[in-house]
Amino acid sequence: MPAQTLKVTKMESGQRLDNYLLKHLKGVPRTHIYRIVRDGQVRVNGGRVRPFVRLVLDDRVRIPPLRRPEPGVDASDQNLLDLTEAILYEDEYLLVLNKPAGVAVHGGTGLRGGLIEFMRAQSKDHLELIHRLDKDTSGALMLAKDSQTLRAMHAVLRQPERDPGIKKTYRTLLVGRWHGGKRELKHRLQTFRGPGQIKRSEVSSEGREAHSIFNPVTRFFEHTLMDVEIKTGRLHQVRVHAQAIGLPVAGDRIYGTADANRHIRKFGLTRQFLHADRLVFQHPIEKRQLDIHAPLPNELDSVLGQLQTQLTDSRSS
């Protein structure tokens, strides 16, 4: 690809330079984009800049000659290919997907690419993640199509309890029987680097405020199906709060126990039972109320069916 100079449009104004380049240089690895910015090969209005500088209307961005791979997708990951049929909601500002488990939201160490890279390659729109889900968590995931929508949604997520705010509800299966009804958990959470430099969270008085509301849906013999509304968005919040009260998320390899995970595998559970079930919020541009539900994946629905059959058989015998 020869050198080119692009002019920032009104829709693109406010974007960070790195995100702007990712949009225009589809297929070029993020690491290479950062390198050419750092080396001064990318210029904005003739000057050197940092990758996180925000562009404004009519800025002129010079991009050096690049060798770009042919567009395409690694068809070996069927979960990524299924994303084209996973759209829950779409308009000119927002895209909401029912993310399958096993798909990282973005590429990183050891990953060729993730959901956002795949969706950018398939779409003519500028796409940015509004929030994130763990790789092994399924469910409703929001993407913005322009910087105005992205900033508006981030403002809502920073203060979810303001009116109008956003209500995020997860459906999860906990190991153990829940006693009583709805309960609010406010254990403060601190992030640290665990084995292999993987980020984890733990309960700590020095941590950041975290607020979850657990509400039981169905009680099985040794498990409880729960709806969990999160008022804050800390790393692994639902999983760590569940572990803190001795009822970890079923199938959780980090915060659960090996014995409990082995037991639930007999019912067909091969990953953590955590699903982003529902998003309720005011549209950031059109100001109308949205209520978006992500159906439970078949593999999780099947586990619940087997647990229910066990419970029914026991009561009838």
Provide the annotated active-site residues: 134
Helices (H) and strands (E) in the chain, counts: 8, 15
- The owner of tokens 């969270």 is 201
Which residues fall within 8 angstroms of residue 130, CB to CB, at 6 or more apart?
Answer: 142, 143, 144, 150, 153, 154, 157
DSSP state of 100: P
SS3 14: coil
Positive or negative: CA dihedral 269, 107, 76, 277: positive
Task: Please tell me the number of Cα atoms within 13 Å of 278 on its side-chain side.
Answer: 9
SS3 157: helix
List Cα–Cα distances, 4 to 7, 122, 133, 184, in angstroms. 10, 23, 36, 55
- The owner of tokens 């950031």 is 284
SS3 45: coil
d(CA 20, CA 24): 6
d(CA 106, CA 113): 6
